[in-house]
Amino acid sequence: MFLRAPCKVNLTLDVFNKKEHTDVYHNLDSLVVLFGQPADELRIYIEPTNNKTSITLLCSDSRLPNDNRNLAYRAADVYLKHIDEPFHVKIELDKHIPAEAGLGGGSSDAAAVLRALNIYFNHRIDQTTLMAMAARLGSDVSSFLAEKPVRMRGYGDVIETLHCELPSLYGVVVRPNTGVSTAHAYALLDAIPNRQPGSSTEQLLSCIRADKDSSIDIVTLLAKKLSNDFESVIFAAYPTIAEAYDMVLSAGALRALLCGSGSAVFGLARNSQHAEQLVNQLAPHFPFVTNVSTATLETFTINHF
């Protein structure tokens, strides 16, 4: 089976403080959209075996683990344990989504493996159970199983498909030569005493609902409302990311936005032509630059060999 795994951008990201020191995850409130590129590519081979279940993961990026530390491997392991039948699964993972960028590459790979296996096994696991399985793998994984843009709450386990339509969005994504550990990003937030989390997700959705029948350009509205609670602490700790943010704005983006916990920066464009202009201006300055546009999961079809 062959399939592509999309990246994501959090148009809003409100991060709430842990209620207890023993809490493992922070609660989130986020509006998540998928982008058609960059996208990882996966080839998955499945065959029954008389012996115990086994998994082989081959990754194009040698810096990434190829065992249970990799979310794609872990997704296959969790799925096969659930159906409790011996199979050998081989995953060939060709990475195009940069790591430690906040674009959800690892989570997307895990969701792609769950989708592929569930199709192979004729949807043996219902969607509700599959979503719960995804949430246990990681806080972003469930959002990559949703057909449309979603509001993600809880620690990523509460997924609500948006009832209001978002327009097609275009832009640019740049990644400086710096990665950000998600754990470190959260630690930076936790170090702020009496931090007040944002409420941008609810504000943005309220504006979209209120203005859906008006003549206001929704892209202009989005440019004013995009928000990420990580920005202040990440920019202070990583000057190169703050510089990338400023450069995206200087190139003419309607709005710049930190992607997840970083290190990539998204620049919102008026249309696809504007996005290409941004790419051309920014390409000489970053090791990774690409134009992006929103996509839905149905465009990421699974092809059988």
0.85 exceeded by the pTM? yes
**What is the pLDDT at residue 206?**
84
**What is the pLDDT at residue 38?**
97
Q: What is the pLDDT of residues 98-132, one digit of tens each?
A: 999 999 999 999 999 999 999 999 999 999 999 99
Structure tokens at 14: 């409100």
Q: What is the pLDDT of residues 259-272, one digit of tens each?
A: 999 999 999 999 99
**What is the pLDDT at residue 304?**
86
The three-class DSSP label of residue 58 is strand
pLDDT at 186 over 90: yes
Active site residues: 8, 140
Rounded to 5°, angle at Cα 79 from 74 and 82: 125
**What is the pLDDT at residue 98?**
97
pLDDT at 214 over 60: no
Query: Which residue did the predictor score with more confidence, 216 or 300?
Result: 300
**What is the pLDDT at residue 72?**
99
Q: What is the pLDDT of residues 46-85, one digit of tens each?
A: 999 988 999 999 999 999 999 999 999 999 999 999 999 9
Q: Hunting for tokens 């790591």 — which residue is that?
A: 99
Q: Hunting for tokens 């959090």 — which residue is that?
A: 10
CA 260 from centre of chain? 8
Q: What is the pLDDT of residues 12-47, one digit of tens each?
A: 999 998 765 556 678 999 999 999 999 999 999 999
**What is the pLDDT at residue 241?**
99
* Alpha carbons 244 and 261: distance in angstroms, whole number: 14
* Alpha carbons 99 and 232: distance in angstroms, whole number: 21
Query: Which residue did the predictor score with more confidence, 132 or 197?
Result: 132
* Alpha carbons 282 and 179: distance in angstroms, whole number: 19
Q: What is the pLDDT of residues 141-185, one digit of tens each?
A: 999 999 899 999 998 889 999 887 788 999 999 999 999 999 999
**What is the pLDDT at residue 166?**
85
All domains of the chain, ordered by start, with CATH? 2-164 (3.30.230.10), 170-295 (3.30.70.890)
Instruction: Count Cα neighbours of 53 within 13 Å in the Cβ-side half-sphere.
Output: 17
